[in-house]
Amino acid sequence: MPIRQLPEPLINRIAAGEVVERPASVVKELVENAIDAGARRVLVTTAHGGKSLIRVEDDGCGMNEADLALSVERHATSKLDSDALDDIRTLGFRGEALASIGSVSELRISSRPADAESGFTLTVSNGRKRPPMLLAMNRGTSIEVRDLFAQVPARQKFLKSDRAEANAITDVLRRLAMANPAVHFRIEGSDRSGLDWPAVDGDGALATRLSQVMGGEFVDNAVPLAMARHGVVLAGMAGLPTFTRANSLNQYVFVNGRSVRDKLLTGAVRAAYADYVFRDRFPVIALYLSIDPGEVDVNVHPAKAELRFRDTGAVRGAVIRGIGEALHAAGFKASNTVAE
Ligand code: ADP
Ligand code: MG
């Protein structure tokens, strides 16, 4: 076969394979966009585990007509104003999500900036874009994704039951809510009984959000983390060694506001608790790390759940030390610490 340049809809569909694995990945991309847009309220509605419907409505900055048309183009982003990939402070930056989602679903984006009289709405139907049309609406953005992967049987085959997909969506939303206590999250639709996590602010905001999302029992059985060491700032709450689980599903780790699954960090958590919990038990933890964005590379994987640290020793050391000190303060003494 001769070489041919692939048409754009096909290129987008191939890229979609990386960015949009399942309904939960769509929810993650859309809610991250809402947060990047400065939303104070995010409403998520899903049906059939997100397969038939995902809708994310926000009260963020909105888009004007020109930006709306650009938003679904590949590699179009408002978040990289220079070529500085080493200083990323927004959740998004690849400019791929909306183009990808639009290539594998019925996508409708409606948006109105605060200073505009009315909004515009635009649809992309499995890669076919239509121009924006005028629409009366509140300020903010509403994005609706219907019939995800209906035209991509290969991908549809790998989706799990509605219930399993709905659970994955809830997990994604939990993580986003834990990372953004000042944002009000509401989750509706036929997939679950509604969830409502009002915005929290000021002293104790994080503990309140953690009890909203993880349950009050965790907060009652956890100690606060607070430490700064070698440029790594630690916050959150560490569950007591007496409050463990049979798996690691309740270990949440955030780096610079982003939920991550990182072997170095989960390894450091395990090491910090090694003296306190049996090897087949897992502590519950909500660990928040802040670190100079230049010290960490989030551009490792399209979903940005993995990362690389420049100074892995400093990060590991800070986590072990921070958790250790918090547990020590709560009266737990590691066997290998020198007795006072
Ligand atoms: P990225 O988030 O990496 O920039 P996306 O494809 O997710 O790429 O979004 C493309 C652009 O569309 C964003 O850079 C942003 O300017 C705009 N956008 C997307 N969602 C929203 C939203 N909810 N509110 C305001 N602008 C948005
Ligand atoms: Mg995005």
Closest CA to 108 of 148, 75, 61, 48: 148
**Residues 287, 305 within the same domain:** yes
| Token pair 């909306």 in the structure block, residue | 98
Name the closest-CA residue to atom 19, ligand 1: 33
ipTM value for the complex: 0.99
Which ligand 1 atom is at minimum distance from the Cα of 91? Answer: 2
Residues 193, 235 within the same domain: no
Query: What digits encode the pLDDT tens for the residues 77-94?
Result: 887 776 666 666 677 667
The one-character DSSP state at 322 is: H
Residue 104 within a domain: yes
Asked if residue 117 and residue 61 are part of one domain, the reply reads yes
Domain ranges, residue 244: 205-329
Judge if 253 and 221 occupy the same domain: yes
Determine the atom of ligand 1 nearest the C-alpha atom of 95: 8
Same-domain pairing of 96 and 161: yes
Please identify, by atom number, the ligand 1 atom nearest to the C-alpha of residue 80.
4
Q: Does any domain span residue 3?
A: no
Collect the ranges in the chain with pLDDT lower than 70: 82-89, 92-93, 299-305, 334-340
In this prediction, residue 340 carries a pLDDT of: 38
C-alpha of residue 199 to centroid of ligand 2, in Å: 22
In a domain, 337, yes or no: no
Q: Which atom of ligand 1 is nearest to the CA of 60?
A: 24
142, 244: one domain? no
Number of structural domains, the chain?
A: 2
Ligand 2 center to 312 CA (angstroms): 28
pLDDT at residue number 336: 52
The whole-number pLDDT of residue 77 equals: 80
Contact 228, 274 (CB under 8 A): no
Name residues contacting ligand 1 (CB within 6 A): 29, 33-34, 37, 58, 60-63, 67, 71, 76-79, 92-98, 141
**Cα gap 119→121, rounded to integer Å:** 7
Judged by its nearest atom, the ligand closest to the C-alpha of residue 101 is: 1
Phi, psi of 100 (to 5 degrees): -65, -50
Report the C-alpha gap between 47 and 121 in whole angstroms: 22
* Cα(128)–Cα(285) distance, integer angstroms: 44
Residue 229 and residue 319 share a domain = yes
Do residues 320 and 210 both lie within one domain? yes
**Are residue 82 and residue 174 in the same domain, yes or no?**
yes
pLDDT in the model for residue 337: 47
Judge if 155 and 226 occupy the same domain: no
In a domain, 139, yes or no: yes
Do residues 90 and 154 share a domain? Answer: yes
As beta bridge partners, residue 43 has 57, 186
Pairwise CA distance, residues 50 & 330, whole Å: 43
Domain boundary among 165, 197, 229: 197
Q: What are phi and psi of 45, to 5 degrees?
A: -125, 130
pTM over 0.95: no
